[in-house]
Structure 1
Amino acid sequence: MDDIDQQLLLLLTRDGRASAADLARELSVSRGTVQNRIDKLKREGVIEKFTVELGRGEREHQISAFALIRGNADDDRRILASLRRIKEITQVSTISGTFDLVVELRCSSLARLDEVLDSVRSLPDVADTQSHIRLRTWRS
């Protein structure tokens, strides 16, 4: 990947729906160059998918939280398989430190968040959890 590819990825990260023409103008290259590079990045697996990010108004109607999870066993595969079945979990990451995993959740209400966290705590291989509700997010 060269500098143009890096800049293109940064622009797409900020706005995945930006038109090829707008991206070309921003990068000072042709529209065809932008489209060819996007196609190449998709083929190579650098770009996996384009997603939707909820607007501020819709995000304000949802509860966003993180749960730290410590497992009982050295192998987290059973926990991960169970977490994949919970639709409110949007992302799972392994982490270093006293906890093994961090999950990001989006729920329609505090009551639903409580239910989801209870279901995570009740998983057989989960030893401990700690949850944190997101209050505000700033763009970098």
Structure 2
Amino acid sequence: MDAIDARLLSALQRDGRQTVTDLAAAVGLSPTPCARRLARLEAEGVIEGYSARVDQARIGFPVSVFIQVELESQSKDAIDTFERAVRGFDRVMECHLMTGTRDILMRVVAADLTDFDRFLEDKLMRVPGIRSMRSSFALRTMVRRQVLPVRVSA
């Protein structure tokens, strides 16, 4: 990745709806080479896709819950089984395999406490292989970045 790729990615992260012409002007290219670079970054998987950032509270999910999960076993099969199950839960916004005393850290959204309780009882508590769970409710988000720092590769 060179400096132009880095500028392209930074500009796209700030505004993914820019036209190729506007993006090219922002990074100092003409539109055709800019489009070629975009296509290459997409083909290489650097650009994973395009989406809109949506305010979760304004669409009815003001509650964020962080759930620490300890599995009964840390075998590949146990982790794969858990992962397959939670991939099907649309309330799970993030799910990370962790080091330390808890195996999994998840961020789940909910409409309210009753909605979260329903999610636990109807979904998460039915996943086989969970030893224990601990939930923490976010009071407010202090920092949420959507733009990754982009560095030029050596």
TM-score computed with the length of structure 2 as normaliser: 0.76
In the superposition, relative to structure 1, how do residues 60 and 7 fare at CA in structure 2: closer, same or farther (>3 Å)?
Answer: farther
- Say whether residues 1:138 and 2:143 are aligned partners: yes
Please list, as runs of the form range in 1=range in 2, the aligned pairs for 1:1-140 lying within 5 A after superposition: 1-55=1-55, 58=58, 61-75=61-75, 76-118=79-121, 119-134=123-138, 135-140=140-145
Give the letter aligned to residue 120 of structure 1: L
Q: Which stretches in structure 2 are left out of the alignment for 5+ residues?
A: 146-154
| Alpha-carbon distance in structure 2 between the residues aligned to 1:14 and 1:42 | 17
In the superposition, relative to structure 1, how do residues 36 and 81 fare at CA in structure 2: closer, same or farther (>3 Å)?
Answer: same
In the superposition, relative to structure 1, how do residues 10 and 59 fare at CA in structure 2: closer, same or farther (>3 Å)?
Answer: farther
Alignment RMSD, CA only? Answer: 2.3
Q: Could you tell me whether the CA contact under 8 Å between 1:95 and 1:101 is conserved in 2? A: yes
Is the partner of 1:112 in helix, strand or coil?
Answer: helix
Alignment deviations for residues 9-67 of structure 1 (CA, whole Å, 9 cap, x no partner): 22222332233233223212222232211111111222121122104762675322221
In the superposition, relative to structure 1, how do residues 56 and 82 fare at CA in structure 2: closer, same or farther (>3 Å)?
Answer: closer
Q: Could you tell me whether the CA contact under 8 Å between 1:66 and 1:131 is conserved in 2? A: yes
Give the letter aligned to residue 51 of structure 1: S
The number of residues matched between the two structures is: 140
In the superposition, relative to structure 1, how do residues 105 and 43 fare at CA in structure 2: closer, same or farther (>3 Å)?
Answer: same
